[in-house]
A and B are shown apart, each in its own frame.
Chain A
Amino acid sequence: DQQVKQNSPSLSVQEGRISILNCDYTNSMFDYFLWYKKYPAEGPTFLISISSIKDKNEDGRFTVFLNKSAKHLSLHIVPSQPGDSAVYFCGPGGTSYGKLTFGQGTILTVHP
């Protein structure tokens, strides 16, 4: 079974600086890894994904890096904005099977 860990429960950064959120996993059998963002009292929303055959995927201010040998991925947000303040969850996913096993989440706070 896929185990996902987000070892930093919270992260605080200054507006304009880089935010780096980390995610470790144990099982290498996946097609994609996905990041979701969640605001209080709302459901999570999809942010960005990375295929297991790639090591980087970029979308605007968001870049996800995958290090398969270390079973580690990270989400970089640059420049960080106050509106990025939210809880970020990572988890593996597939092409047809949408079930996600999320990490515990990291609370990002971006200070103006």
Chain B
Amino acid sequence: NAGVMQNPRHLVRRRGQEARLRCSPMKGHSHVYWYRQLPEEGLKFMVYLQKENIIDESGMPKERFSAEFPKEGPSILRIQQVVRGDSAAYFCASSPSRGHDSGANVLTFGAGSRLTVL
């Protein structure tokens, strides 16, 4: 049973280009979350999605960033016109609709996509 798959693992972009990061959740998981880890900082929540719906995007920058989780295919985090400050590790996580035995809803994280903006 494959875990959360993220690709690419490493992405290099020049300022002004677009970056697209993909995330396939664990089998059976219907919720997807994106987190960002800037250098020397902790994990910051960006967005929470279910199929075809954005549930919570309170952590997304207001401009240039967008996310989707279509009916078919992986979730995509899109960054337009990248700047050097976007260089970070972007982690995707997935979870089932409810925690096991009504316990905590545990997130399963992917290995991350490291974006470097030159």
Contacts and interface: CB of A to CB of B under 8 A. Distances in A.
Given A34-B106, A43-B93, A95-B99, A89 B43 contact: yes
A36 to B, nearest CB: 8
B109 A104 contact: no
Given A34-B104, A98-B33, A89 B42 contact: yes
A69 interface: no
B48 A104 contact: no
B43 A42 contact: no
B111 A95 contact: no
Contact of B105 (A44, A89, A94): A94
A70 to B, nearest CB: 21
B31 interface: yes
Contact of A43 (B4, B41, B44, B105): B4
A41 B111 contact: yes
Contacts of B43: 44, 89, 102, 105
A81 B58 CA distance: 38
A97 B95 CA distance: 9
B111 A43 contact: yes
15 contacts: A31-B104, A32-B99, A36-B109, A42-B112, A43-B4, A46-B108, A93-B105, A95-B102, A96-B105, A99-B48, A99-B56, A100-B45, A101-B45, A102-B44, A104-B41
Closest 10 CB pairs of A and B: A43-B109, A98-B95, A32-B104, A104-B42, A98-B105, A49-B104, A102-B43, A105-B42, A46-B106, A95-B99
